[in-house]
Amino acid sequence: MQSIPVGLLYQMWEVPDVRTAELVDRALDDFRLAADLGFDAVWVGEHHFVPAGRSFYGRIAHPEMLLAKAASMIDRMRFGTGVKVLPDISATRAAEEMCMLDLLSGGRADFGIGQGTGYSGAQRLHRQAVFRDRLDEILALLADQPSEELPILTFDDRARVRDNIWVACRDERSVEHAAANGLNFVVGQAENAYAQAEHISRYRRAGGSGRIRGVRAIYVAESRRQAWDEFEAAFEMYATMITGPENKYTREAIDAGYLPQRARTVDEWLHQANVILGSPTQVAQGLSEYIAVTGIDRLDLLVQFPGLSAERTRRSLRLFTDAVWPELQPVLAVG
């Protein structure tokens, strides 16, 4: 079995007709296949409640529970939260859940943390401040710094948990906060590569010395035509969310001049949704360009989409390992 230093992100989005139990079973089968293919990590997104007016939605409110189950079944992978929303939970509860996942996974856990999406104005600023406060408390708990306000955790290996924290934030103060505390940094699948490069540059300028991981959505088939024919229905559903007017990342990318106001071709639409689709050579080229633009040192792939069958997801994974990775490996090693 080859070892591929590339991970997967499963947001666990799905249409209402698919039961959550079915989705979880399918995902666990995917994780086992990914381990057999050599992928070295899986992150799972955190999503709460059923949003109004959406044709699909995320199903996993507490990724740590699914990840702990996966870790008990699979020996060769790391498992991460993508991402844990700190403003909605106390620092002590967050730190304990992180330590417990680290314990149950045998030290194979990563902890993506963020502020949550869908907020604007004063509420957004408030959540950013709460995020920084929660993060400070978590770091104090992991450093075993008792105070009148904070208890002492009952877990060993807290330093290992700290080393595996990945911050997903975009406002300047929070990015600088992550850098100052020596934490790792992550940019997600919803963001344009050039916008991600700006966030990464800000993190590095602020003294950030941690690892940086980035996510791209991909679909691989034998040819570009086959890839589009198989993926079109799922993409149209996914794109309604990722490129819609309510998506702040798309609005910001358009305002910055990275994207046109309106996608006029399929290629422009895919680019607007940050999806790399096509033959193995085309996907390898797209990912190579992404790595060069952003300067990430760690790549994760979004491969599971609402409405896309397990058979097609798994075939795309196999094609990546068999035909994309051999072309991508030298580029990622340099990046």
pLDDT at residue 146, as a whole number:
66
> Which structural domain range is residue 64 located in?
4-334
pLDDT at residue 105, as a whole number:
98
In this structure, of 61-70, 119-128, 204-213, the range with the lowest mean pLDDT score is 119-128
Tell me: pLDDT of 274 over 80.
yes
Query: How many structural domains are present in the chain?
Result: 1
If you search the block for the tokens 């079973």, which residue do you land on?
25
pLDDT at residue 145, as a whole number:
73
pLDDT at residue 270, as a whole number:
96
What does the pLDDT average to over 75-84? 96
Angle (deg, nearest 10), helices 248-255 and 193-205: 90
pLDDT at residue 102, as a whole number:
98
Tell me: pLDDT of 111 over 50.
yes
Going by C-alpha positions, the residue among 52, 60, 96 that lies closest to residue 81 is 60
- Please indicate whether residue 70 or residue 151 has the higher confidence score (pLDDT): 70
| Distance of alpha carbon 201 from alpha carbon 52, whole angstroms | 36
CB 189 within 8 A of CB 196: no
Sign of CA dihedral 116, 168, 321, 268: positive
Neighbour count for residue 107 (Cβ, 10 Å): 12
Alpha helices in 38-90 (DSSP H): 63-73
- pLDDT band per the 50, 70, 90 thresholds, residue 259: confident
What does the pLDDT average to over 243-247? 77
Tell me: pLDDT of 256 over 70.
yes
Cis peptide leading into 283, omega within 30 of 0? no
Percentage of residues in the chain having pLDDT higher than 90: 85
What does the pLDDT average to over 200-208? 98
Per-residue pLDDT reduced to its tens digit, 151-202? 999 999 999 999 999 999 999 999 999 999 999 999 999 999 999 999 999 9
The alpha carbons of the chain give a radius of gyration, in whole angstroms, of: 19
Q: How far is CA 145 from CA 116, 125, 136, 141, in A?
A: 27, 28, 11, 6
CATH (domain of 301): 3.20.20.30
